[in-house]
Amino acid sequence: MTFPPELFTLPNLLTEFRILCLPFLLFLAWQDYETAFMVLLAAAFLSDVLDGLAARWTGQISQFGARLDSWADVSLFVTITISAWWLWPEIVRSEAAYIAVVMACYALPALIGYLKFRAFTSYHTWIVKCAVAAIGLSLYIFFVGGPVWPFRWATALCVLAAIEEIAITVVSTEPHSDVRSLWDVLRHLTKNNNLGE
């Protein structure tokens, strides 16, 4: 059995580390090891920050890596939701509506992208990156007994990110990866249209 060489680049190894964390996070949550869960979750979030930086620093940006990163992000947030239910059920119950909105913000743009392009999109816009960082930070505040308003504000940012991703899918004629914003996509389309005239 041969593996694609992209699997062994530094950014993709960091992303794969995040994927490998998932069963251990679930195990730690199921066994009620709250501190160990939080430490491993921090490592998973750190890998999410570092994989993008590593891809840019090493020039190893690829469609494969972008898609792998998107799958890792979605899988991590599903794992966090399940784990939070086991570790902090009362918190999850009280914020269920916001958690559902965050999950929908990950699922809906991916579904719309798949319906249009028959492939999952992986835009990684600046708003998405900010939303992921805000959700990650607010979850820590949330899980250690802090206020819930940072999580709710982060949820609003997730909604904006999802709207932008859906808009990018609507205006695009082919799937993109690693785009900065809807504005950049529109500018690129306008430039191509002007060249075609």
Per-residue pLDDT tens for 3-49?
677 778 888 999 999 999 999 999 999 999 999 999 999 999 999 88
Measured in degrees and rounded to the nearest 5, phi and psi for residue 87 equal: -85, -40
Alpha carbons 7 and 44: distance in angstroms, whole number: 18
Cα 176 from Cα 37, distance rounded (Å): 34
Is the per-residue pLDDT at 122 higher than 70?
yes
Could you read off the pLDDT of 156-194 as tens digits, one per residue? 999 999 999 999 999 998 877 778 899 988 888 887 766
Task: Round to whole Å and give the CA distance between 32 and 86.
Answer: 8
**Length of the chain as a residue count:** 197
pTM: 0.84
